[in-house]
Amino acid sequence: MWLKYALHRLFWLLPTLVAVVTVAFFMVRVAPGGPFDQERALPTVVKANLDRAYGLDQPVAVQYARYLWALAHGDLGPSLSDRDFTVNQLLAIGLPVSLALGGLALAFTLLLGVPVGVCSALWPGRPFDRVAGKVALLAIALPTYVVAPLLALFFGVYLRWLPVGGWERGRWSDVILPVTALALPSIAAVTRLVRASVSEALRLPHVRTAHAKGLTPFTVVWRHVLPPALVPVLSALGPTAAALLTGSLVVETLFGLPGMGRFLVQGALNRDYTLVLGKVIVYAALVIVLNWLMDLLQVALDPKLRQALRR
């Protein structure tokens, strides 16, 4: 049954991605301006030749069909602003940086957010719980474009412990501030969600029975509390992981990182249809796949879901 459920959900991934691509394609086309509109207008003949070279003189339906055909072969098309590169090449440059940054931020989120949330639920009302709750609330309230400059100003300018920008492969000091700024809101959200879920799981009948049988607190939490408590956390973790892995526009811009956020800004400002679509497709694919994986993990952790699948 589990395999059937996984394959059934997998079957709907491609139609969902096609729907996202379709909506994004026509939305960028109806936006005002074009990829070759500049402050100084191009001669009519030159603009017509550029439109013809990139197929923009064709009807939108024809452009859409051609784009889908190229996309089916793994071709995201040429960049309309960086004409020496294709979108695949630009994403190959920026995606590893964004994935490295987001992967570290995701690991930081899970390694810190889950234990803090569990401890806060186990010690409700105590100083640890009160401090963790206030810090989490502050981290959620402060936007990233405020936290990131403050971290750079304090640790980079005043204390001079860490660099405030740049990216050099293999130099870990370059990623500490960006990862911290990117992960803080996610850590706060995961902490609050884990605390609420664990608090609810601690009141379940089978957990009280496990305590009555004399099991150690660690065993009760590990075997009987965490599995049901992590189910709602996994529901929110898919979009959160995708957002972290594709990189933050604000963080990459403020710290001068050559990630996907920079190319998205370039594409939006220059009306680079193919570059913007490439970013949207990568993000949508990550969201869809990660949500699928989170759904499978929920089934693995929740016996009620497994029983429902057997019916």
The answer to whether position 78 is within a domain reads: no
The answer to whether position 204 is within a domain reads: yes
The answer to whether position 301 is within a domain reads: yes
Residue 306 is predicted with a pLDDT of: 63
pLDDT per position in the chain (311 positions), as tens? 556 666 767 777 788 888 888 888 888 777 666 666 655 566 667 667 666 776 667 777 888 888 888 888 888 888 777 777 788 888 888 888 888 888 888 888 889 988 998 888 888 888 888 998 888 888 888 888 788 888 888 887 787 788 777 676 657 777 888 888 888 888 888 888 888 888 888 887 777 777 677 777 777 777 777 777 777 777 777 777 777 776 577 788 778 787 777 777 777 777 777 888 888 888 888 888 887 787 777 777 666 666 666 66
DSSP-derived 3-state class of residue 156: helix
Geometric angle at alpha carbon 95, from 21 and 18, rounded to 5°: 15
The answer to whether position 154 is within a domain reads: no
Residue 62 is predicted with a pLDDT of: 84
Geometric angle at alpha carbon 126, from 108 and 188, rounded to 5°: 25
Question: Which region, left, alpha or beta, applies to residue 55 given φ > 0 means left and ψ of -120 to 50 means alpha?
Answer: left
Give CA–CA dist 245/289, Å, rounded. 12
C-alpha radius of gyration, the chain, whole number: 24
The answer to whether position 281 is within a domain reads: yes
The answer to whether position 262 is within a domain reads: yes
The answer to whether position 251 is within a domain reads: yes
DSSP code, position 142: S
Cβ contact 242:109 at 8 Å: no
In the block, residue with structure tokens 């490295």: 100
Residue 184 is predicted with a pLDDT of: 87
Residue 221: domain span: 87-104+194-310
Structure tokens that stand for 297 in this block: 């993990």
Give CA–CA dist 150/274, Å, rounded. 35
DSSP-derived 3-state class of residue 86: strand
Residue 220 is predicted with a pLDDT of: 78
Give CA–CA dist 253/156, Å, rounded. 16
Q: Structural domain tally of the chain? A: 1
Q: How far is CA 86 from CA 81, 90, 140, in A?
A: 10, 6, 38
Residue 40 is predicted with a pLDDT of: 58
The answer to whether position 233 is within a domain reads: yes
